[in-house]
């Protein structure tokens, strides 16, 4: 299955939105998906670093986007294996580590949504969806 760069970008934005959301929204997402706390992070690791090169190749992320994403990646990697942070909603609500995750996620999402590469890719994708009018 081939996924366009903008399709991958849309998925990554959704993952970042969950990681950056307030705790009650994160919990509602997890309840709806029937998953635990750790799945929020695992969803991110499904994309980074693996799909990041695809996003770069598709020119939908630029250097600033990649840097913001990698900052979050490094921080989340430090949390791996920390059951005190990854198993309890009280940690998501109260731990400074989760506040930092939300901050870095919002920062990455803001960067992506404001980048020239992202806007250009979305404009090209939109043009594909608009039928070309051949009438005189």
DSSP secondary structure string for all residues of the chain: ----HHHHHHHHHHHHHHHHS-HHHHHHHHHHHT--THHHHHHHHHHTTTTHHHHHHTT-S-HHHHHHHHHHHHHHHHHTT-HHHHS-HHHHHH-HHHHHHHHHHHHHHHHHHH-HHHHHHHHHHHHHHSPP----
Per-residue pLDDT 10s for the chain (136 aa) are 456 777 888 899 999 999 999 999 999 999 999 999 999 999 999 888 888 888 888 888 888 999 999 999 999 999 988 999 999 999 999 999 999 999 999 999 999 888 765 556 555 555 555 444 444 4
**C-beta of residue 33 within 8 angstroms of C-beta of residue 39:** yes
Taking the C-alpha atoms of residue 62 and residue 15, their distance in angstroms, rounded to an integer, is 19
Structure tokens at 96: 């400074």
**C-beta of residue 60 within 8 angstroms of C-beta of residue 111:** no
pTM (predicted TM-score):
0.81
């Amino acid at each position: 299955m081939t996924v366009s760069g903008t399709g991958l970008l849309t998925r990554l934005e959704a993952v970042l939105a969950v990681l950056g959301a307030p705790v009650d929204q994160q919990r509602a997402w997890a309840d709806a998906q029937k998953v635990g706390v750790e799945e929020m992070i695992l969803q991110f690791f499904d994309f980074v670093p693996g799909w990041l090169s695809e996003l770069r190749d598709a020119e939908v992320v630029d250097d600033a986007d990649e840097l913001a994403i990698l900052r979050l990646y490094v921080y989340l990697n430090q949390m791996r294996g920390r059951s005190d942070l990854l198993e309890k909603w009280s940690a998501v609500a109260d731990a400074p580590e989760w506040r930092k995750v939300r901050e870095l996620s919002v920062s990455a999402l803001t960067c992506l949504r404001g980048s020239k590469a992202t806007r250009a890719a979305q404009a090209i994708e939109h043009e594909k969806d608009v039928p070309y009018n051949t009438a005189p």
